[in-house]
């Protein structure tokens, strides 16, 4: 691979050594083992904080993929821009993304398909330090083994613009959609529990009223995904809802996390 984006937050958001990272991810997934009868999801909403804070929550979503290791060969991954202002959605300019567990190849065909849309640009700077996408990769590398990645940093975009990109690469059972978002930021523990519960229920209902960035830092990709999910007849399941006060932080100012899975109706026309 000619041009690979190196890991930017290995050693800070998650362990930087391959063996320790592999062991930590495996332990998180084992602790979150799903009911055996749960079918693999079409899409996931997962948090993106450091693993000590949100890894256990994210693991509840990724554990559902263990029955689809061979089936899912492409992951469309959307997360909010934290460091660089982006208009629309930004592709990387690389052939792969690296983590300590290895390199994930970029889905070149998917990138070509969405690049034709006016709201999609290419931005090396938007991806260079963006953690919201990178922290998902070690989980995906554990559960899926071989897959191609279509990573998009989402900035200033309408729900329709995001949904149009997702429709372009929705695919069939080989394609998993992952939306990276935390929930409320820096509320007190009790306020966060109330706020995040309302937000989670709005997501579960696939409601039309858009979330704002006070409710979810990834509100822009979430709102666009929910629009596509309504059109596609998906139904949602809440897997875990906690905050940093439950996992590893103080309860004075917490960050909320949810793991939500979305299934396609078996009768829905693909």
Mean pLDDT score of the chain: 95
pLDDT tens by residue, 137-181: 999 999 998 999 999 999 999 999 999 999 999 999 999 999 999
Q: Average pLDDT, stretch 256-260?
A: 98
pLDDT tens by residue, 56-81: 999 999 999 988 888 999 999 999 99
Q: What percent of the chain has pLDDT over 70?
A: 97
> Could you give the CA distance from residue 97 to residue 6 in angstroms, rounded to a whole number?
6
- pLDDT for position 237: 95
**At residue 267, does pLDDT exceed 70?**
no
pTM score, two decimals?
0.96
CB 131 within 8 A of CB 9: yes
Q: Is 145 left (phi over 0), alpha (psi -120 to 50) or beta?
A: left
Q: Is 11 left (phi over 0), alpha (psi -120 to 50) or beta?
A: left
Can you read off the two tokens belonging to residue 50? Answer: 């450091």
Q: Average pLDDT, stretch 247-255?
A: 93
Can you tell me which residue has the tokens 């596509």? 228
Q: What percent of the chain has pLDDT over 90?
A: 90
Q: 28: pLDDT confidence band, cut at 50, 70 and 90?
A: very high
Q: 36: pLDDT confidence band, cut at 50, 70 and 90?
A: low
**At residue 186, does pLDDT exceed 80?**
yes
Closest CA to 185 of 209, 217, 226: 217
Q: 270: pLDDT confidence band, cut at 50, 70 and 90?
A: very low
Domains and CATH numbers, the chain: 4-263 (3.40.830.10)
Calculate ∠ Cα 8-65-195, nearest 5°: 70
**At residue 129, does pLDDT exceed 80?**
yes
**At residue 219, does pLDDT exceed 60?**
yes
pLDDT tens by residue, 103-119: 999 999 999 999 999 99
Q: 38: pLDDT confidence band, cut at 50, 70 and 90?
A: confident
- pLDDT for position 154: 98
Can you read off the two tokens belonging to residue 77? Answer: 């991954």
Q: Average pLDDT, stretch 7-21?
A: 98
Q: 207: pLDDT confidence band, cut at 50, 70 and 90?
A: confident
Residues belonging to the chain: 270
């Amino acid at each position: 691979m000619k041009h690979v984006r190196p890991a930017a937050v290995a050693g800070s958001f998650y362990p930087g050594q391959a063996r320790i990272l592999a062991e930590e991810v495996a332990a998180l997934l084992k602790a979150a083992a799903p009911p055996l009868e749960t079918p693999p999801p079409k899409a996931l909403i997962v948090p993106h904080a450091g693993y000590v804070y949100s890894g256990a929550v994210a693991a509840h979503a990724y554990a559902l993929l263990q029955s689809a290791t061979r089936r899912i060969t492409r992951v469309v991954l959307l997360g909010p821009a934290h460091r660089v202002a982006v208009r629309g959605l930004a592709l990387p300019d690389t052939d792969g993304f690296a983590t300590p567990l290895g390199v994930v190849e970029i889905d070149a065909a998917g990138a070509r398909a969405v690049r034709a849309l006016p709201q999609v640009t290419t931005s090396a700077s938007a991806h260079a330090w963006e953690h919201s996408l990178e922290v998902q990769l070690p989980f995906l590398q554990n559960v899926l083994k071989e897959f191609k990645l279509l990573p998009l940093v989402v900035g200033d975009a309408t729900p329709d613009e995001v949904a149009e990109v997702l429709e372009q690469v929705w695919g069939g059972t080989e394609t998993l959609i992952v939306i990276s978002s935390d929930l409320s930021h820096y509320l007190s523990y009790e306020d966060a529990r109330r706020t995040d519960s309302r937000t989670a229920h709005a997501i579960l209902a696939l409601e039309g009223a858009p979330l704002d960035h006070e409710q979810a830092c990834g509100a822009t990709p979430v709102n666009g995904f929910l629009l596509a999910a309504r059109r596609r007849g998906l139904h949602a399941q809440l897997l875990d809802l906690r905050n940093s006060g439950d996992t590893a932080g103080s309860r004075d100012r917490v960050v909320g996390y949810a793991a939500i899975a979305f299934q396609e109706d078996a009768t829905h026309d693909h």
